Amino acid sequence: MNIESICRKVIDIARGAGDFIRTERKSFRRESVEAKGVHDYVSHVDKKAEGMLVEKLQALLPEAGFIAEEGTGKKNSNGLNWIIDPLDGTTNFIHGMPPFSVSIALARNEEIMLGVIYEINLDECFFSWEGAPAFLNGSEIKVSKAANVSDSLIATGFPFTDFRNMEPFLNSFRHFMENSHGLRRLGSAAVDLSYVACGRFDAFYEYGLSPWDLAAGSFIVRQAGGRTCDFTGGNNFLFGGELIASNPVVFDEFMSTVKRFMKGHGKS
């Protein structure tokens, strides 16, 4: 398997889905939105984009299954799976505000082999594959060199269905607001992680995540020289629903701070 060749073809597939999403946004009507649950939305654009991705990725690698947000395709219980989010940042898309993105990862069991994130509004494609550095539109990227939380800009995301752990989460907000350059919530975990990978953010944490929210982004962060873990400092984040990511210099301080507030609270 030529993983670089596959990754470059996935970039074209992600950009194609992004072109479709961009075109649909011009005539999109909020009335066409469906609610999957409380504050959890989907539109015909998500579904159509996912169908496009599944069709093209299946043709590219017929032996791979799918773990997809809208449930298209079937998961391989053992072996290769595409982990895809056709439109990460659906609420942003619905309201006509950036960012929103296409996120695609290829996993062998729980080991990510490649990741591609296409942020549609700025036409920025972040990607990497096994054994390669991380790239933004063809230029190599690295995580930041911030050495302390006090010098860091931190990204996070708000839980939208599980509010049981809001008190410790809000306590962590207060700490970082008082002891960092600030907090940002963009509305797309895939984009948050891409921005950690290229040094725009220094660190990221969030709970209530699904595999398609973080698979590609966590991989790209590591390929850009960053580190990732769950809220206990372990590696159960792909299917564990919680993620910490940062540059390697600030990682220990940041992880221990998140762990202090959120250990035992992140998993739903």
Asked if 79 and 66 count as a contact pair (C-beta separation under 8 A), the reply is no
Domain spans of the chain?
Answer: 3-141, 149-262
In this prediction, residue 46 carries a pLDDT of 87
E strands along the chain, which residues? 34-37, 40-42, 65-68, 80-88, 101-108, 111-119, 124-129, 134-136, 139-141, 153-156, 182-184, 203-207, 227-229, 242-246
The pLDDT tens digits of the residues spanning 205-217 come to 999 999 999 999 9
Considering the four listed CATH numbers 1.10.260.40, 3.30.540.10, 3.90.950.10, 3.30.565.10, the one that applies to the domain covering 3-141 is: 3.30.540.10
Kindly tell me if the per-residue pLDDT of 162 is higher than 70: no
pTM of the complete model beyond 0.75: yes
The pLDDT tens digits of the residues spanning 105-129 come to 999 998 999 999 999 999 999 999 9
User: For the structural domain made of 149-262, what CATH number should be given?
Assistant: 3.40.190.80
